[in-house]
Structure 1
Amino acid sequence: MNDAKNVFVVGLNDFNRQRLEQLRGAEHYRFHGVIPPGEVYDTEVFSIADMLDEAGASLEAFEGRIDAIAGYMDFPVSTMLPILCERFGTRTTTLASLLKCEHKYWSRSVQREVIPDFIPAFTAFDPFDDEALTRIGEAGLYFPFFVKPIKSSGSRLGFRIDTPEDFYHAIERLRQDIGLIADPFNTVLEHARLPAEIAAVDGGFCMAEAIIGGWQCTVEGYVYQGEVVSYGIVDSLRYPQVLSFFHYRYPSGLPDAIQAKMVELTATVMAHIGYDNAAFNIEYYWDEVQDRIWLLEINTRISQSHCDLFEKVDGVSHQQVTIDLALGQRPDMPTREGDFLVAAKFFYRVFFVDAVVTRVPSEAELAALQAEFPGTLIAPQVVEGQRLSTLPEQDSYSYALAYIWMGADDEAQLLANYENLAARLAFEFDDITG
């Protein structure tokens, strides 16, 4: 192993280390963690400057060769990677091209240059501006519309606005919490040369966008030496009547022609952005009634939620893509070599305003359920005594108590197995509100 390649993963935890060690070629790699996982997974407070200093010191102290620096998380990890890779001479896309994806206003602006018919009307606004609602109207956006921060993570601080009351409720929340990401994101922006019109819209701003919807999916892809490759489409299915995700399903059930058009749009926009030598995913909607495709957003990473889905269906986690690219190699990603024909990640949720968890299924109970449904993995997200409102990275409408990955031979069997399992997950609560 003296010639093993040293791969540094920001926020590496035991769960991901086990997956990485099963990748093709992993016997030739040595994986090292950079920044403890708790500092990026289990908190909503990020000091980017301190984290960059910590990561830099850790890498400089390493006595061997640094062959790759990688990560699988959204903010703050995704935005740190170009800065670290440039400093230590490893491969990834440029910071400017990454920000053209992650800075939501800049991203919409560059999308408008090449695929204007596939994005909604949008405008940026300052949530601390008391005239913000008037300015949004002057920009041509009317109820209903959606608001979210210029930089967010997951579905946090995203709101559908149907009335002025909805808007002022959202503004109250945004003013209270937007700094948690705005401040560290602004630290990242300081490392980039921004056009004047983009520099004026910093992390403290928000986006208002016309409502788009339909069948939601994610195109997973990468760019290798300028070639844009899409290797899988995952459907994102929601609970009825709410915005919360029910499950992610792979492969997609979308019509072939719609999938092909999404792949074409993906190649167009990623090439225009100049993104290169890194993984990405793009979320789309297909409005079946109007037969319109909408680009929702671009993420500068693989989706961790999809790792097990690709492993179950294709035979290996698509972490393969990230590691191969970080090492300067064309990704060695198989197709349909897994044990299942379809797979899903389910979100086991409650729709409380708040509550205290008084019981979580025991390890023995979880092991028994996993054994009954081969290939199943259950990952509780709460512990006894925890107040639900302390959970990080939740949407504005519900709490995910557990993530459940399952595989099956068809969609009907998959859903039936999940309903059977979910009915036997014994969570209990006290002090319930909502």
Structure 2
Amino acid sequence: MSVRNVFVVGLDSINRERLENLRGAEDYRFHGVIEPAEVYDTEIFPIEDMLASAEARLREFNEPVDAIIGYMDFPVSTMLPLLCKRFGTRSTSLESLLKCEHKYWSRLVQREVIGDYIPRFTAFDPFDAQALQHIGEAGLYFPFFVKPIKSSGSRLGFRIDSPEDFAYATARLCEGIGTISEPFNFVLEHANLPDNVRAVDGGHCMAEEIIGGWQCTVEGYVFEGDVVPYGIVDSIRYPQVLSFFCYRYPSRLPSAIQDKLQQLTRQIMAHIGYDNAAFNIEYFWDEVQDHIWLLEINTRIAQSHCDLFDKVDGVSHQQVTVDLALGQVPDMPSRQGRFKVAGTFFYRVFFVDATVSRVPSAEEIEALQQAYPGARISVQVEVGTRLSSLPEQDSYSYALAYAWMGADDDAALEENYARLAEQLHFEFEDIVG
């Protein structure tokens, strides 16, 4: 069998290491296309130029282009169907992807088949002075949540409890929404959209009924029309805020709830027509009401879950992405890893802003990784970093480091992280509390 060439948008050293440890990787050659800094360390996305650059790089390649993949949210996930279509590689259709990523279209499609499991919602224009009135006319009242039609992570998402909250949120939205709305609108121009969706472009926002409970993510894929959920990860937040504390795998949800989540996942992804690609769906289970809510659908694996699957199942779930792109049934193992449980922890500060004056040294990080078997730490800042300059942050905190850890049970996992976090020494100046 000849070596197969897999191109990865935004390939960095961490993910190259993960990819080269996949099953069958000895038969693959991984190539980067578009520099990591262009998709990681920025909030400026000239998507037309990025596509042109990627196409030129691929056309210069003098061997077969067997697959083009990515493992990031916008703009990578949204670019892939356009790039794959140009080179005849496997991907879901642009329209099926947008039925997941365009939040208003996604809710409309979800309402067609699982309407009891989604919140009340409406779209609005943040530049419209009457936006709050229109939201009320649509039957949404305080409190509610607002976010852009297309965003990345938890960026520009706000809980609204009063007119003052709404005024603050819309000011922030109007200031920042263009960085994604303009490139997202470029993608929309290439799609066949219903008229009611085309009228709600990337400059619009969503208002949704507040939902909550036990949050989790169903990771899955579709191969030749067969929808396969293969893992559920719990998402645990800091008390009283929207910021994530950790992701934990495998889920501790009751088995009946996990079964229902898988059923809903199969139902909605089949209805959307999504195919030959990976996805994940975020849900809430309201334990008090015993009710499930679908939060959103993402058209990729969750990169922050890669080490969790590696630690518990034996390989990163990038296995799924690569196999699908090559037209193969994913060769994803189960419970063959080194640990019984694993977590991705977010080391955060809750300042309004500050400048970093000290970060843990490479020697300190290495000592911690040696002290906790299986631990991996990735520091996201350096001395001199202004926290407000960090991309892809939520509206309430800053993630300074990620720590991936494994253990034999939940208690040991949490205890190990608590001890590790105490030894991660950052310092700051010019703190705005």
TM superposition score normalised by structure 2: 1.00
Shift of 1:152: 0.2
1:242 to 2:244 alignment: no
**1:373 offset after TM fit, Å?**
0.3
Q: Which residue of 1 aligns with 2:413?
A: 414
1:43 matched to which residue of 2? 42
Q: Distance in 2 between matches of 1:133 and 1:347?
A: 34
Identity %: 74
- Partners of 1:129 and 1:385 lie apart in 2 by 38
Does residue 331 of structure 2 align to residue 332 of structure 1? yes
What is the distance in 2 between the residues matched to 1:331 and 1:49?
A: 32
C-alpha deviation, 1:43, in angstroms: 0.4
Give the match for residue 73 of structure 2. 74
Aligned to 1:403, the other structure's residue is in SS state strand
Q: How do 1:288-303 and structure 2 match up within 5 A?
A: 288-303=287-302
The residue number in structure 2 matching 1:233 is: 232
Superposition CA RMSD, Å:
0.6
C-alpha distance in 2 between matches for 1:425 and 1:62: 44
Q: Which runs of 4+ in 1 moved over 6 A?
A: none
Q: Which amino acid aligns with 2:270?
A: A
Equivalent runs, 1:363-382 vs 2, <5 Å: 363-382=362-381
Alignment of 1:391-410 (within 5 A): 391-410=390-409
C-alpha deviation, 1:332, in angstroms: 0.1
**CA offsets 1:241-297 (integer angstroms, 9 cap, x no match):** 111000000000000000000000000000000000000000000000000000000
1:274-331 Cα offsets, whole Å, 9 max, x none, are 0000000000000000000000000000000000000000000000000000000000
Which residue pairs with 2:110 in the alignment?
111
- State the Cα deviation string for residues 345-371 of structure 1 (Å, max 9, x = none): 000000000111000000000100110
Corresponding position of 1:309: 308
SS of the aligned residue for 1:382 comes to coil
In the other structure, the counterpart of 2:318 is 319
Structure 2 equivalent of residue 166 of structure 1: 165
Query: How many angstroms does 1:407 deviate by?
Result: 0.2
The count of aligned residue pairs is 433
State TM-score, norm by structure 1: 0.99
Match of 1:183 in 2: 182
Deviation at 1:151, TM superposition (A): 0.1
Question: For residue 254 of structure 1, what is the aligned residue in structure 2?
Answer: 253
Question: What corresponds to 1:33 in structure 2?
Answer: 32
Partners of 1:102 and 1:141 in 2: how far apart? 22
1-structure distance, mates of 2:177, 2:3: 43
- Structure 2 residue runs without a partner (length 5+): none
CA distance in 2, matches of 1:22, 1:271: 31
| Aligned partner of residue 141 in structure 2, secondary structure | coil
Q: Which residue of 1 aligns with 2:422?
A: 423
Task: Tell me whether 1:270 sits opposite 2:279 in the alignment.
Answer: no
Distance (whole Å) between structure 1 residues aligned to residue 131 and residue 385 of structure 2: 37
> Does residue 22 in structure 1 map to residue 45 in structure 2?
no
Equivalent-residue separation in structure 1 for 2:4 and 2:143 (angstroms) = 52
In structure 1, C-alpha distance between the alignment counterparts of 2:65 and 2:206, rounded to whole Å: 39
Q: Is 1:285 matched with 2:271?
A: no
Question: 2: CA distance between counterparts of 1:387 and 1:84?
Answer: 35
Give the distance between the partners of 1:424 and 1:68, measured in 2 at CA.
42
